[in-house]
Amino acid sequence: MNWDDTRVFLALCRERTLRGAARSLGVDQATVGRRLASLEQALHATLFLRAASGYTLTPAGETAMRAAVEMEAAAAGLQRQVLGLDDRLGGVVRVTTTDSFALDFIIPAVARLRMDHPGIEVQLQASTQMLNLSQREADIAVRTQKPDNPELVVRRLARWQSGLFASRDYLQRFGEPAPGSRFAGHELVVYQPYLDSGKEVMLAGEPIARGRIAMTCTSGLMVRRALASGLGLGELPVPLGERDGLQQVWAHGKPYDIWLVTHQDVRRTARVRAVIEAIVQAFAD
The pTM is what?
0.67
Could you list the residue range(s) of the whole structural domain that residue 39 is in?
3-83
Q: What CATH number did the domain enclosing 9 receive?
A: 1.10.10.10
Alpha-carbon torsion angle 180, 182, 185, 189, nearest 10: 130
Answer yes or no: do 103 and 154 share one domain. yes
pLDDT tens-digit profile of 136-173? 688 899 999 898 888 889 999 999 999 999 999 999 99
Answer yes or no: do 266 and 206 share one domain. yes
Q: What is the mean pLDDT of residues 229-244?
A: 96
How many folded domains does the chain comprise? Answer: 2
Of the residues 51, 67, 83, which one is the last residue of a structural domain?
83
* pLDDT surpassing 60 at residue 253: yes
* pLDDT surpassing 90 at residue 16: no
Q: Supply the pLDDT for residue 25.
A: 85
pLDDT band at 131 (very low <50, low <70, confident <90, very high): low
**Average model confidence (pLDDT) for the chain?**
88
Q: What is the mean pLDDT of residues 166-182?
A: 95
Answer yes or no: do 77 and 100 share one domain. no
Answer yes or no: do 269 and 253 share one domain. yes
- Cα separation of 13 and 7, whole Å? 10
Answer yes or no: do 79 and 96 share one domain. no
Of the residues 30, 48, 83, which one is the last residue of a structural domain?
83
- Cα separation of 214 and 233, whole Å? 9
Answer yes or no: do 137 and 74 share one domain. no
Contact between 186 and 212 under an 8 Å Cβ cutoff? The reply is: yes
Most confident region among 10-14, 132-136, 185-189 by mean pLDDT: 185-189
Q: Supply the pLDDT for residue 167.
A: 97
Please, what is the angle between helix 3-15 and helix 59-83, to 10°?
A: 120
Answer yes or no: do 182 and 231 share one domain. yes
Contact between 209 and 182 under an 8 Å Cβ cutoff? The reply is: yes
Answer yes or no: do 184 and 235 share one domain. yes
Contact between 160 and 273 under an 8 Å Cβ cutoff? The reply is: no
- Cα separation of 29 and 41, whole Å? 18
Higher pLDDT: 269 or 202? It is 202
Q: Supply the pLDDT for residue 259.
A: 95
Answer yes or no: do 12 and 57 share one domain. yes
Of the residues 51, 83, 115, which one is the last residue of a structural domain?
83
3-state secondary structure string across the chain? CCHHHHHHHHHHHHHCCHHHHHHHHCCCHHHHHHHHHHHHHHHCCCCEEEECCEEEECHHHHHHHHHHHHHHHHHHHHHHHHHCCCCCCCEEEEEEECHHHHHHHHHHHHHHHHHHCCCEEEEEEECCCCCCCCCCCCCEEEECCCCCCCCEEEEEEEEEEEEEEECHHHHHHHCCCCCCCCCCCCEEEEEHHHHHCCCCCEECCEECCCCEEEEEECCHHHHHHHHHCCCCEEEEEHHHHHHCCCEEEEEEEEEEEEEEEEECCCCCCHHHHHHHHHHHHHHHC
Q: What is the mean pLDDT of residues 71-77?
A: 72
Answer yes or no: do 130 and 190 share one domain. yes
